[in-house]
């Protein structure tokens, strides 16, 4: 198979059966998003947002692109912006792992680091990203750059409605359930919307950190958890509770254990949100015995984490 350019490596990821992890009677599949050039599911949103910004004439070649990122959106935008001929500045909270900062710089982007508000190293909270977003917005205004605004940008949801959902549907029309954790919500919302438009019986389940289960309980006990890139103790602007048939919470210990099993037993060296998705999928299948075919997202590679 020959791809004509780097951008063609975004989208069209395979599903892999997690045969070493699945429980008896359940076919559990992971969508291998970490195989994309930025190393995560966020390449899809980055690509769609830049394509749409050009089409809507909000962005021209050579213009600076600015975004707040926990790392994965930054890597995706670094890859995409370079191919389109736009400089990219990633504004990141200092709590993100040094690997992420290194990757974004290696991909040719600049990085501006902001202090943490109430998070700690390796644990970036909603307040940390709100502050980084404010800084990113100010820089974009000052430099006349394009501010991506991933939490509010509808192209992030459309990326998954247009691509992730259709790809899963094409590969596994007999899907019974879909599970994803929630950062901006783009992955969950866009994919769930598409799958339900094809078959409203497909169950769509969001995964959340137990200590910051705002979508499930409306409360946050502790904003700190290990599932980087998700669980920001806020309800994402595009959140649509009608799409979530259930919300499954997971603890840091469960996530750590499953993330380790995915690499040790399944040969999938992935980050914590992938572990969170897989453990949530298994929990859901355990309480819903009729579920046979369940799909979840392997969001990013373990190479991006100091602690993995
Ligand atoms: C590791 C990881 N997993 C999951 C997500 C969630 O993706 P979304 O923003 O589409 O909800 C992100 C988002 O940045 C992420 O970095």
Structure tokens at 61: 């070649």
User: Ligand 1 within 6 A of 185 CB?
Assistant: yes
Question: Helices 72-84 and 42-55 sit at what angle, rounded to 10 degrees?
Answer: 40
What value does the mean pLDDT take over residues 90-95? 93
Residue pLDDT, tens place only, 96-125: 888 889 999 999 999 999 999 988 887 888
The listed CATH number (3.40.50.1100, 3.10.20.30, 1.10.287.3610, 3.40.1350.10) that belongs to domain 42-147: 3.40.50.1100
User: Ligand 1 within 6 A of 70 CB?
Assistant: yes
Q: What is the pLDDT of residue 216?
A: 97
Q: Is the pLDDT assigned to residue 173 strictly greater than 90?
A: yes
pLDDT band of residue 70 (cuts 50, 70, 90) is confident
Residue pLDDT, tens place only, 260-283: 999 999 999 999 999 999 999 999
Question: Any long-range contacts for 81-85 (C-beta under 8 Å, 24+ apart)?
Answer: 81/50, 81/109, 82/107, 82/108, 82/109, 83/5, 83/6, 83/7, 84/50, 84/54, 85/61
Active site residue 42: yes
pLDDT band of residue 95 (cuts 50, 70, 90) is confident
What CATH class is the domain 6-41+156-304?
alpha beta
> pTM of the prediction?
0.96
Residue pLDDT, tens place only, 193-252: 999 999 999 999 999 999 999 999 999 999 889 998 899 889 999 999 999 999 999 999
Active site residue 306: no
Domain with CATH 3.40.50.1100 in the chain: 6-41+156-304, 42-147
Q: Which residue has the higher pLDDT, 232 or 33?
A: 33
> Please, what is the average pLDDT of the chain?
96
User: Ligand 1 within 6 A of 181 CB?
Assistant: yes
Q: Is the pLDDT assigned to residue 295 strictly greater than 90?
A: yes
Length of the chain equals: 308
Q: What is the pLDDT of residue 223?
A: 87
User: Ligand 1 within 6 A of 271 CB?
Assistant: yes
User: In testing the pocket of ligand 1, which one of 191, 229, 237, 243 has its CB within 8 Å of the most ligand atoms?
Assistant: 229
Catalytic residue among 273, 274, 283, 304: 273
Q: What is the pLDDT of residue 41?
A: 98
Q: Is the pLDDT assigned to residue 308 strictly greater than 90?
A: no
Catalytic residue among 22, 31, 40, 42: 42
Between CA 264 and CA 201 the distance in angstroms is: 34
Residues paired with residue 91 on neighbouring β-strands, in sequence order: 68, 112
Residue pLDDT, tens place only, 121-142: 878 888 998 999 999 999 999 9
């Amino acid at each position: 198979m020959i791809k004509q350019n780097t951008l063609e490596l975004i989208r069209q990821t395979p599903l892999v059966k997690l045969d070493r992890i699945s429980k008896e009677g359940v076919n559990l599949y992971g969508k291998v998003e970490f195989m994309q050039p930025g190393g995560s599911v966020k390449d899809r949103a980055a690509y769609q947002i830049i394509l749409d910004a050009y089409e809507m004439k909000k962005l021209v070649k050579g213009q600076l692109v600015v975004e707040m990122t926990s790392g994965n959106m930054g890597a995706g935008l670094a890859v995409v912006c370079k191919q389109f001929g736009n400089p990219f500045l990633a504004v990141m909270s200092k709590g993100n792992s040094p690997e992420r900062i290194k990757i974004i710089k290696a991909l040719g982007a600049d990085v501006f680091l902001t202090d943490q508000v109430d998070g700690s190293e390796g644990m970036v909270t909603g307040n940390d990203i709100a502050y980084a977003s404010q800084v990113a917005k100010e820089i974009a205004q000052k430099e006349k750059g394009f501010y991506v605004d991933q939490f509010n940008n509808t192209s992030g949801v459309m990326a998954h409605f247009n691509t992730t959902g259709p790809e899963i549907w094409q590969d596994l029309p007999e899907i019974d359930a879909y599970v994803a954790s929630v950062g901006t919500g783009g992955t969950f919302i866009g994919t769930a919307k598409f799958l339900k438009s094809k078959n409203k019986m497909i169950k769509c389940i969001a995964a959340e950190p137990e200590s910051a289960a705002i979508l499930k309980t409306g409360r946050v006990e502790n904003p700190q958890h290990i599932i980087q890139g998700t669980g920001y103790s806020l309800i994402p602007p595009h959140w649509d509770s009608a799409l979530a048939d259930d919300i499954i919470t997971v603890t840091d210990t469960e996530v750590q254990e499953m993330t380790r099993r995915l690499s040790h037993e399944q040969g999938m060296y992935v980050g914590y949100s992938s572990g969170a998705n897989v453990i949530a999928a298994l929990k859901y299948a355990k309480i819903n015995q009729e579920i046979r075919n369940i799909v979840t997202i392997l969001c990013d590679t373990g190479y991006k984490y100091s602690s993995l």
